Structure 1
Amino acid sequence: MTEHTLTVAGVAVDTRHWIGGERVASTETFTDVSPIDGSVLGEISRGTATEAAAAVAAAKAAFPAWAATPRAERARILHAVADGVEKRLEELAIVETTDNGALLRSHRRGVMPRVAHNFRFFADWLLKLEHEDFETRGHTNHVSWDPAGPSVLITPWNAPLMLATWKVAPALAAGNTVILKPAEWTPLTASLLADIAAESGLPAGVLNVVQGYGSEIGDALTSHPDVRRISFTGSVPTARRIAASAAANLTPLSLELGGKSPLLVFADADLDLAVDLAVEQYDNAGQVCLAATRFLVEESVAEEFTRRFVKKAGQLTQGDPRDEATDIGPNIHPRQLEKIDGFVQRALAAGACAVIGGHRKDAQYYAPTLLTDVAQDSEIVQEEVFGPVLTLQSFTDEDEAVRLANDTRFGLAATLATGDPERAERVTARLVAGTVWTNCFFVRDLQAPFGGSRHSGVGREGGTWSFDFYCDVKNTVTAPTGWRNHG
């Protein structure tokens, strides 16, 4: 291990920023800790306004050439990055698991392949991106997507590389240059991505990676006048701060924020399927923004649903995420564990009943929890916990189910279990959510729009929606030959 390199499960990771095609160290560092056992992984360069300015300058300098690069060449390079991800898939998986505590088996089989797919999908979508020309009084309208400029992408810790590349890939495909700021709790795979991108032929300055705290480097990035796009995934309070920071420059924002999504289970549902969907909400130790954390179950089947859920949840194995047999790993950080437990203990003090869980297991792990006897206006029902904590309420008819489902300030997703297709159509039409799943969960396609309603976000990304955000969409109107406009 050198001064600026740490080793994670045999994988060397550079702890410095990546700016303008070079590694850049900061005078100060912050400590990266594994959530698996609390062990110190290493000291990471801690960026400030100085590194932010350097990264934006590098992105600005690289932008004209990258924006002018033909679509086919940009796509070729993005496919090369995907190739690099696939070649280092095992390394990326073990580093990510060590850094954020999610299941190694999931990283190997699903998450890291999805990282490569993010690059391939947007590379291919770029090549078919078009809008059919149309006429207005004989004039031809032609729609084009012009690269917008340097883009700041601020990403969360719950799925670090997958969610980073969900932003990086379309931004690069669009012809923008990028400054990526990963979450300070999970910076390592972003550093590896910088290496892979450079090895794949991405020109210097097109992708820059800077590490540090939001209050120190994040504010400097989001307020910079040369930044033309900001995409953020994270909490509502941080989004407000970013929006205020960007306002002075009218920098366009895409915000994917928190959720308090419902799972509606009707009496005509396949209860075994509904229970499977419900138990799936403990995925990633409950640290999933889309998770349906509020179970709304029709009164006539609530008792049976609860019995089956308790039995199924009891079969889950919680432990070391590197073990193939583990179903639930640790929570990300002691601070997050304190937050989760605070929600639960306040709910219990207010009269909630813990059907299962309701307590920490140790310093890294929180017991999977289901709370009943909760009021609709209570904190535990209204606020995002971001841990393995679920609530259950009952309803008597469709109207009450929809009212309860929509009665929060969020609107990211909703899941519905019913055996009646007509009911499914009626209910989904009334739900306030960016994504609704019927008799399934977490089926995602990159060509679909993704984002939230209300306090769950601003804007949509995915497919053409991503290019609409990362580009300046332009309409060019051309008069027919020999035509003169006399007013």
Structure 2
Amino acid sequence: MTEHTLTVAGVTVDTRHWIGGERVASARTFTDVSPIDGAVIGEISRGTPVEAAAAVAAAKAAFPAWAATSRAERARLLHAVADGVEKRIEELAIVETTDNGALLRSHRRGVMPRVAHNFRFFADRLLTLAHEDFETRGHANHVSWDPAGPSVLITPWNAPLMLATWKVAPALAAGNTVVLKPAEWTPLTASLLADIAAEAGLPAGVLNVVQGYGSEIGDALTSHPDVRRISFTGSVPTAQRIAASAAARLTPLSLELGGKSPLLVFADADLDLAVDLAVEQYDNAGQVCLAATRILVEDSVAEEFTQRFVDKTTALRQGDPRDESTDIGPNIHPRQLEKIDGFVRRALEAGARAVVGGHRGDGQYYAPTLLTDVAQDSEIVQEEVFGPVLTLQTFADEEEAVRLANDTRFGLAATVATGDRERAERVTARLVAGTVWVNCFFVRDLRAPFGGSRHSGVGREGGTWSFDFYCDLKNTVTAPKGFEDHG
């Protein structure tokens, strides 16, 4: 270990920024702490507007050559990055688990393989990206996707590397250069990604990583005149500040924000399946934007559903996420834990009842919680908690179920459990959500559009939609006459 590196479970991580193909240190640092046990992991370079400007300048300088790089070569390099990820899955998994507290088994088996898949998918999509030419009164129309320019990508702490590469991969595939700003609570795997990208042969300045507090460098990145795209995943208040910052220069934005998603359980549903879907919402200690935190159950099966849910929840094992037998790990930060506990305490004071949980555990652990007797207009039903806290309400019929489901300012996702295919079609057609799952949860395909409605976001990413955002679309119209005949 040197002055600018630290060791996490035997893995060496550089604590400096990655700008223009070089490691750059800041005069100040911030402390990275593991949520597992509160242990200090190390001191990380704390970016300032100076480093932010340097990263954008590096991205701008690298952009012309990268934009001119052939699709085949860009795809080859993205596949090389994926190869590097796959070689280091175990290292990436243990570092990210230490940094954000999510289950190690999930990182090994699902999350880090998905990181590699993000690069491979958009590399392959790039090679097939096309729109059928068409004719207008004898004139030929040809649609193309032109690289837009330097892109600022601001990513969250709940799935740091997977959600970062969900943005990095399509931006690079599109021919844009990137400045990645990871969440300050989970900076480590972004630094490892910089190493992997460099080893894969990505040219200097194409990918830059700047660490630090959004309050200190966010505006320097989002208001910079040379930035052509901004993509952000996080909270609504932060998104509002970013949008205000970008508005002065009309910089296009993609915003994937919070959720307060419903799970509708109808009496004709397979109750075992419905209970499994409900308990699955505690994944990642409830720190999932897509989580169906509002469980809505038809009156006639509510009592049976609740009992089965309690039985299954109380059997969950909460503890060290590095243990293969653990089902729920810690919450990310003392500040987040206090926020979660505040939501629950206020709900209980307002008359809610904790059927299970409702209290802190040791350290940064919060007991899986289900609250009933909650009013539709209450804070606990309307606002995103982002922790292992669910509410349960009942409904009398389909009409009431849909009304309750849509009655928040969010619209990220929804889940429906029913044994009636026609009901599923009727209900899903009326739900306000970017993604609806029927008798399943969290099935994601990169070919599908992803994003939210209302306060859950702006825009869609995935498949061709990602290229639509990260590129300037051009239509070239060519007349049938006017060219000199050189034959």
Q: What TM-score do you get using the length of structure 2 for normalisation? A: 0.99
Give the whole-Å Cα distance in 2 for the aligned partners of 1:105 and 1:483: 63
Structure 2 counterpart of 1:244: 244
CA RMSD of aligned residues (A): 2.0
**Residue 70 of structure 2 is aligned to residue 82 of structure 1:** no
Give the whole-Å Cα distance in 2 for the aligned partners of 1:450 and 1:334: 31
Give the whole-Å Cα distance in 2 for the aligned partners of 1:205 and 1:182: 17
Q: What are the ranges of 5 or more consecutive residues in structure 2 without an aligned counterpart?
A: none
Q: Deviations for 1:224-249, whole angstroms, at most 9, x for unmatched residues?
A: 00000000000000000000000111
Shift of 1:483: 8.7
Give the whole-Å Cα distance in 2 for the aligned partners of 1:186 and 1:397: 44
**Residue 486 of structure 2 is aligned to residue 486 of structure 1:** yes
Q: Deviations for 1:91-150, whole angstroms, at most 9, x for unmatched residues?
A: 000000000000000000000000000000000000000000000000000000000000
Give the whole-Å Cα distance in 1 for the aligned partners of 2:424 and 2:483: 54
Give the whole-Å Cα distance in 2 for the aligned partners of 1:192 and 1:468: 29
Shift of 1:180: 0.1
Give the whole-Å Cα distance in 2 for the aligned partners of 1:379 and 1:322: 34
Q: Secondary structure of 1:212's partner? A: coil
Shift of 1:363: 2.1
Structure 2 counterpart of 1:214: 214
Give the whole-Å Cα distance in 2 for the aligned partners of 1:141 and 1:198: 39
Q: Secondary structure of 1:18's partner? A: strand
Give the whole-Å Cα distance in 2 for the aligned partners of 1:483 and 1:84: 49
**Residue 16 of structure 2 is aligned to residue 16 of structure 1:** yes
Q: Deviations for 1:53-107, whole angstroms, at most 9, x for unmatched residues?
A: 0000000000000000000000000000000000011000000000000000000
Q: Secondary structure of 1:278's partner? A: helix
Shift of 1:329: 0.2
Give the whole-Å Cα distance in 2 for the aligned partners of 1:362 and 1:382: 28
CA 1:485–1:314 in 2, change beyond 3 Å: closer, same or farther?
farther
Q: Secondary structure of 1:338's partner? A: helix
Give the whole-Å Cα distance in 1 for the aligned partners of 2:209 and 2:276: 39
Give the whole-Å Cα distance in 1 for the aligned partners of 2:485 and 2:475: 19
Q: Deviations for 1:299-342, whole angstroms, at most 9, x for unmatched residues?
A: 00000000000011111100000000000000000000000000
Give the whole-Å Cα distance in 2 for the aligned partners of 1:286 and 1:484: 66
- Which deviates more, 476-485 or 314-323? 476-485
Shift of 1:484: 13
Give the whole-Å Cα distance in 2 for the aligned partners of 1:295 and 1:325: 26
CA 1:423–1:53 in 2, change beyond 3 Å: closer, same or farther?
same
Q: Secondary structure of 1:460's partner? A: coil
Q: Secondary structure of 2:484's partner? A: coil
Give the whole-Å Cα distance in 1 for the aligned partners of 2:447 and 2:170: 11
CA 1:143–1:392 in 2, change beyond 3 Å: closer, same or farther?
same
- Percent identity over the alignment is 91
CA 1:484–1:347 in 2, change beyond 3 Å: closer, same or farther?
farther
Give the whole-Å Cα distance in 2 for the aligned partners of 1:326 and 1:219: 39
Give the whole-Å Cα distance in 1 for the aligned partners of 2:374 and 2:484: 71
CA 1:397–1:480 in 2, change beyond 3 Å: closer, same or farther?
same
Shift of 1:482: 4.2
Give the whole-Å Cα distance in 1 for the aligned partners of 2:369 and 2:266: 22
Shift of 1:219: 1.2
Shift of 1:485: 18
CA 1:485–1:282 in 2, change beyond 3 Å: closer, same or farther?
farther
Structure 2 counterpart of 1:143: 143
Give the whole-Å Cα distance in 1 for the aligned partners of 2:370 and 2:485: 70
Give the whole-Å Cα distance in 2 for the aligned partners of 1:450 and 1:219: 26
Q: Deviations for 1:408-457, whole angstroms, at most 9, x for unmatched residues?
A: 00000000000000000000000000000000000000010000000000
Q: Secondary structure of 2:109's partner? A: helix
Q: Secondary structure of 2:426's partner? A: helix
Q: Secondary structure of 1:486's partner? A: coil
Q: Secondary structure of 2:43's partner? A: strand
Q: Secondary structure of 2:165's partner? A: helix
Q: Secondary structure of 2:67's partner? A: helix
Q: Deviations for 1:448-470, whole angstroms, at most 9, x for unmatched residues?
A: 00000000000000000000000
Shift of 1:356: 0.3
Give the whole-Å Cα distance in 2 for the aligned partners of 1:299 and 1:244: 45
Give the whole-Å Cα distance in 2 for the aligned partners of 1:363 and 1:349: 24
CA 1:485–1:253 in 2, change beyond 3 Å: closer, same or farther?
farther
Q: Deviations for 1:163-185, whole angstroms, at most 9, x for unmatched residues?
A: 00000000000000000000000
Give the whole-Å Cα distance in 2 for the aligned partners of 1:89 and 1:399: 47
Shift of 1:481: 2.6
Q: Secondary structure of 2:440's partner? A: coil
Q: Secondary structure of 2:2's partner? A: coil
Aligned residue pair count: 487
- Which deviates more, 130-139 or 475-484? 475-484
Q: Deviations for 1:359-418, whole angstroms, at most 9, x for unmatched residues?
A: 001221000000000000000000000000000000000110000000000000000000
**Residue 283 of structure 2 is aligned to residue 283 of structure 1:** yes
Q: Secondary structure of 1:142's partner? A: strand
Q: Secondary structure of 2:469's partner? A: helix
Give the whole-Å Cα distance in 2 for the aligned partners of 1:3 and 1:351: 53
CA 1:11–1:486 in 2, change beyond 3 Å: closer, same or farther?
closer
CA 1:4–1:300 in 2, change beyond 3 Å: closer, same or farther?
same
Q: Secondary structure of 2:327's partner? A: coil
Give the whole-Å Cα distance in 1 for the aligned partners of 2:156 and 2:219: 16
Q: Secondary structure of 1:193's partner? A: helix
